[in-house]
Structure 1
Amino acid sequence: MYNFDVEMPTTVADAVKALAREEAQPLSGGQTLIPTLKARLAAPSVLVSLHGIAEMKGVCKNDAGQLCIGGATTHATVAAQAAADYPGLASLAARIGDPAVRNRGTIGGSVANNDPSACYPAGVLASGATVITNKREIAADDYFLGMFETALEEGEIVTEIKFPIPQASHYEKHLQPASRFPLVAVFVAKFADGVRVAVTGASENGVFRWTEAEAALSGNFSAEALAGLTLSGDQMISDLHGSGTYRAHLCGVMTKRAVIAING
């Protein structure tokens, strides 16, 4: 490690001011950033901790019936407090990493980092959620731009995420046992006006919507509706854990399993 300053703001406004310092970087749960610093892949001169900002924590429902989750809310808290209103999302949170990760990692940090194998981006995109920052509101379809890339601007903080609650949902995850990241995972959300399907862990471009599966399931919500649908392995991640072709195949398998789970 190396020397750096740490700021501990207690309000979003103070955090924004601290991030205006040269080479400042926000620190949420630290589950990605701290290992990155240890490996010397990043070297900010200032870390601005978001952990002490109470207004960025908690889970509640708003008047529009959306589930609102503060950006500094831990995975463990989402798993416990979202279960009654959005069980599919709570199940996703409950299976992230291990207990240490779930008790430190935050939803805002995960969404801001947009790791191509992270769990939350699939839940956010499949839900058609809205990412709230200190500056604006960003629809999920406009937020995720590519691997480790989002619509966030310099100094912008994810303060809250608002989730429309679907009629039914399920997150199906093929676990990579060493890292506990999904090798491929699919979140299926069934709404009154259609179905949304988001895939994580598979594509070189990060999380994406499988629109062909959405169209098929919106017309007939059954595993049989997915028969014959395939994805190309050309732009899928290929590594020692699995080829692009294998990951493309898993997209179909995980989607079918999610639909079967929803239908009981």
Structure 2
Amino acid sequence: MYNFEFVKPSSIAEAVKALAEDGAQPLSGGQTLIPTLKQRLNQPDMLVSLTGIAEMKGIKAEGGALVIGGATPHAAVAAEAAAHYPALAALAGNIGDPAVRNRGTIGGSLANNDPSACYPSAALASGATIVTDRREIAADDYFQGMFATALDEGEIITAVRLPIPQKAAYVKFNQPASRFALTGVFVAKFADGVRVAITGASNDGVFRWAEAEAALSANFAPEALEGLSLSGDNMISDLHGTGPYRAHLCKVLAKRAVAAA
């Protein structure tokens, strides 16, 4: 590690002011940032902790949606969202290990947008709105590629608003060491149709599977996906699985998610 300044604001306004300083970077759960600091892959002059901001924590049901503060840890989502959005609670309860779930936050995960993270698939499948200190961003516009989002420099996620579907399920194939999704599929059925989001598969990051959405909107059953397939050409290929293997997993896991919803 190396020397840097550490500040812990108690309000969003204080955090925004601190982040306006040159070399300042926000710190939420730190599950990705701290390891990069240790490896000196990232060297900010100031870390601005968001964990002391009470208005960025908590979960509430509001107008048919679940509103979750950006600094809310995964463990709280797993415990408190179950009564309103069971699929989301189950997703949060299976992220990493207890240490990760008690430190990592939903806002931090969405801001980092790891290509194999679980929350991006939930946000995209739910048609969520990402609320920041400056604006509101639809999930369809927010995710812009691997580790890329619509966030501007210094912009922080203060809350996430997720519409609650009629039925939903998330099924992932675990990478056993990290418990990230090797591939994961979130299926959400709403009155006006079905949304299917896939993580851990594409080189472009989380994405919606339009053909599966159309098929499931017409017939919400696993067999509706029988004739569909995804190409492995632009899928992640590494020591854990080839592109075609991940493409195959997308269909298998989508069918399982529909059956579980």
TM-score normalized with structure 1 length: 0.98
- Aligned residue type for 1:135: R
Q: Deviations over 1:114-148 (max 9, x none)?
A: 00000000000000000000000000000000000
TM-score normalized with structure 2 length: 0.99
After superposition, where does 1:170-185 map in structure 2 within 5 Å?
170-185=169-184
Write the distance in 2 (CA, Å) between the matches of 1:156 and 1:102: 24
Write the distance in 1 (CA, Å) between the matches of 2:64 and 2:220: 24
Are 1:131 and 2:112 counterparts? no
Q: Deviations over 1:126-173 (max 9, x none)?
A: 000000000000000000000000000011000000010000100001
Structure 1 residue 185, shift from structure 2 partner: 0.2
Structure 1 runs of 4+ aligned residues shifted over 6 Å read none
Write the distance in 2 (CA, Å) between the matches of 1:31 and 1:119: 14
Partner of 1:230: 229
Q: Deviations over 1:23-71 (max 9, x none)?
A: 1100000000001111111111100000000000000012x22110000
Q: Deviations over 1:207-237 (max 9, x none)?
A: 0000000000000011110012110111100
Count of aligned pairs: 261
Partner of 2:149: 150
SS in 2 for 1:146: coil
| Structure 2: gaps spanning 5 or more residues | none
Partner of 1:74: 73
Partner of 1:23: 23
SS in 1 for 2:76: helix
Partner of 2:59: 59
- Aligned residue type for 1:159: T
Q: Deviations over 1:171-215 (max 9, x none)?
A: 001001011111000000000110000000000010000000000
Write the distance in 2 (CA, Å) between the matches of 1:77 and 1:47: 24
Write the distance in 2 (CA, Å) between the matches of 1:32 and 1:149: 15
| Structure 1: gaps spanning 5 or more residues | none
After superposition, where does 1:233-248 map in structure 2 within 5 Å?
233-248=232-247
Q: State, as a whole percentage, how many aligned pairs show the same letter.
A: 72
Are 1:258 and 2:257 counterparts? yes
Write the distance in 2 (CA, Å) between the matches of 1:186 and 1:247: 11
Partner of 1:84: 83
